[in-house]
Chains A and B, each alone.
Chain A
Amino acid sequence: MRPFIVLLNKEFIKLRRDSFLPKLIVILPIALMLIAPLLVRMDVRNVNVTVVDLDHSTTSHRIVSHIKASEYLSLVGSTAEFDLAMKGLEEGTIDIIVQIPDHFERDMAVSTPEKISIIANAVNDVKGSMGTQYVVQTIAHALVEFGNEKSPNQLSEVVTVQNRYNPTLNYPHYMIPALMIIIFILVCGFLPALSIVEEKEVGTIEQINVSPVNRFDFTLSKLIPYWVIGFFTLIVAMVIAHFVYGLIPAGSVWVIFLGTTLFILTISGFSLTMANFSSTMQQIMFVMFFFIMIFILMNGLLTPIDSMPDWAQTFTLLLPPRYFTDILRSVYLRGTTIAELWQEFVALGSFAIIFNILAAVTYKKQA
């Protein structure tokens, strides 16, 4: 027990006296949480919409007024001439054209009407596709409202898109769990690996290797400070999410803590394994960067896994952060319970065990 305590104590002293790390640990989560959601937002505003209204009915007027009222869409005019609208689209003054066909209202009352067509400028594909979604949603709202007054059974034809749980596709809300994961990867993944390789480079690890210190004691003493810091950043991030973005976990905080514990164990075990195979700082930086890039790009942090090619979707099953992304996002936004997430928890737990065993086995005091 004594060797472990003095080693742990040494790590905390080193951390405290470091001129840079403590600042990084405080500033990193705060800066990322405050700034990133504002910069990296995928919801679009000011989508210029024009309506080619061939119907001129109550329904079509209602649709126009709904578009006008939307905070994401701005109506740049209503015309009966499709060519004129098309010219605007080409010139770039218009992003989306909504064409309501002739006799839309009348046909809707009796049978399936000719469909409303939406033409979007998809040069900026995010604006194009998100804008289209907003328009579809807005039209659906208008029709639902209208339909409720008339015959609700007709509406399934048009109401297709629903953004549940994050109704406005509020991007910060979607981003925040992802940002938390990036912070954990950096703090609990990158930092301990650097700390071990630094000892190798400076030569202090020789002192440990030539002493009877148990390798588990040494490894644990390296990890515990970063686990503590990991939890500290989780709490900072949750507080910022609450007070700045008004995001409160819909599910249990304890499930979030449990998931975080498993994830921190996994990522730190992974980083130690990598550190054991690296002998210089350049090496470990490069290796960790490689994996972190893959983690960030392929875990559904920024882009949904569902829209990846099949082989890539299969590959993500091998990446531990993927499971934590699922857990954190669904507990935070949807309020999923642990019972529904048992597969993710089992997967994450298995990774935690595998990587930590690997880390202990690959650390050799005698070569």
Chain B
Amino acid sequence: MSETVISVRNLTKRFGDFTAVNNISFDVYRGEIFGFLGANGAGKTTAMRMLCGLSYPTSGSGTVAGFNVMREGEMIKRHIGYMSQRFSLYNTLTVGEKIKLFAGIYGLSKQVTAKRSEELLARLKFSSERDTLVKALPLGWKQKLAFAFAGIHRPEIIFLDEPTGGVDPVTRRQFWEMIYEAAEGGTTIFVTTHYMDEPEYCSRVSIIVDGEVRALDTPTRLKQQFNAVSMDEVFRMLARDAQRGE
């Protein structure tokens, strides 16, 4: 756990007078599951979008997978996977067509696509659903599928923006099993959430309040530091004096 894959220094994003992300700095190491916690509007998504090359930082610097977030956004995109709560899959495609689309977008050859497609379907036990339209699948399945797509080109880092929103507990559990599996394979996971049981599964957690990182450590040590029994309690203590409302 020493190789840095994400390194951020004084990253700031302003929209007019509003500072969405204020001067954040942190490092993420290879193979970590890095939790990014915050209330709605705290700046989680904005921060993540800067790391993914979707949004230019106003100031500060950072590298993701060795590429500069200011100038090398397109290079970053080759080495990351991204899945967002807002993601809706192209609904009128079938599962199989969807896999081909994703693999093709990342430039995988036909042979590799066919192989990964088999693996993916077998792993998710989706083989019988190859020709099902995506829109016919239940939400939980779609989310799992979306996660699998985010990793189809074997990226170094997968960014997950509130991936389990609206999903039932059983599927949520399966989802986290998939995350663990990916992390064990050496993929770094950067995940935002506001389900307070989920940070417990992370290697390290940063808590973001009003656009600033207020705490960053392993869940165990954070609980010790704040003398709390759960991450939920830690979060409540930090978020209590937040200026930004819902």
Measured CB to CB, the residues of A under 8 A from B are: 2-3, 5-7, 9-10, 13-14, 17-18, 202-204, 206-213, 365-367
Minimal beta-carbon separation of B149 from chain A (angstroms): 8
A211 to B150 Cα, complex, angstroms: 10
Residue in B82, B89, B109 whose beta carbon sits within 8 Å of that of A204 in the complex: B89
A365 to B80 Cα, complex, angstroms: 15
Find the A residue at minimum CB distance from B74.
A212
Query: Please, what's the 1-or-0 string for B99-134, where 1 marks a CB less than 8 Å from any CB in chain A?
Result: 011011111110000000000000000000000010
Q: Is the CB of A3 within 8 A of B92?
A: no
Given contacts A13-B93, A203-B88, contact A210 B104 (CB under 8 A): no
Q: Is the CB of A2 within 8 A of B89?
A: no
Q: Is the CB of A212 within 8 A of B106?
A: yes
Q: B90 at interface (Cβ–Cβ under 8 A)?
A: yes
Residue in B56, B73, B109, B133 whose beta carbon sits within 8 Å of that of A2 in the complex: B109
Q: B97 at interface (Cβ–Cβ under 8 A)?
A: yes
A267 to B133 Cα, complex, angstroms: 33
Minimal beta-carbon separation of B150 from chain A (angstroms): 9
A86 to B108 Cα, complex, angstroms: 85
Q: Is the CB of A202 within 8 A of B88?
A: yes
Q: Is the CB of A211 within 8 A of B77?
A: yes
Please indicate the chain A residues that have their CB under 8 angstroms from the CB of B86 in the complex: 203, 206
Measured CB to CB, the residues of B under 8 A from A are: 52-56, 73-74, 77-78, 80, 82, 84, 86-90, 92-93, 97, 100-101, 103-109, 133
Given contacts A203-B87, A365-B54, A367-B56, contact A213 B92 (CB under 8 A): no
A121 to B80 Cα, complex, angstroms: 76
Minimal beta-carbon separation of B15 from chain A (angstroms): 10
A114 to B106 Cα, complex, angstroms: 85
Please indicate the chain B residues that have their CB under 8 angstroms from the CB of A10 in the complex: 90, 93, 97, 101
Q: Which 3 A-B pairs have the closest CB atoms?
A: A6-B104, A210-B82, A17-B92
Tell me how many residue pairs across A and B have CB atoms closer than 8 Å.
78
Given contacts A203-B84, A210-B82, A212-B78, contact A3 B105 (CB under 8 A): yes
Given contacts A3-B104, A6-B100, contact A366 B84 (CB under 8 A): no
Please indicate the chain A residues that have their CB under 8 angstroms from the CB of B53 in the complex: 210, 365-366
A10 to B102 Cα, complex, angstroms: 10
Q: Is the CB of A14 within 8 A of B73?
A: no
Q: Is the CB of B74 within 8 A of A207?
A: no
Q: Is the CB of B55 within 8 A of A367?
A: yes
Please indicate the chain B residues that have their CB under 8 angstroms from the CB of A17 in the complex: 92, 133
Please indicate the chain B residues that have their CB under 8 angstroms from the CB of A366 in the complex: 53-56, 73
Please indicate the chain A residues that have their CB under 8 angstroms from the CB of B89 in the complex: 204
Please indicate the chain A residues that have their CB under 8 angstroms from the CB of B108 in the complex: 2
Residue in A3, A203, A206, A365 whose beta carbon sits within 8 Å of that of B107 in the complex: A3
11 A-B contacts, Cβ less than 8 Å apart? Answer: A2-B109, A3-B104, A6-B100, A9-B100, A203-B86, A210-B52, A210-B54, A212-B77, A365-B54, A366-B73, A367-B54
A213 to B103 Cα, complex, angstroms: 11
Given contacts A206-B86, A209-B54, A212-B78, contact A365 B105 (CB under 8 A): no
9 additional A-B pairs beyond A2-B108, A366-B54, beta carbons within 8 Å, are A6-B104, A7-B105, A10-B93, A204-B88, A206-B54, A210-B53, A210-B54, A365-B73, A365-B74
Please indicate the chain A residues that have their CB under 8 angstroms from the CB of B92 in the complex: 13-14, 17-18
A209 to B86 Cα, complex, angstroms: 13
A343 to B92 Cα, complex, angstroms: 45
A367 to B52 Cα, complex, angstroms: 11
A204 to B86 Cα, complex, angstroms: 8
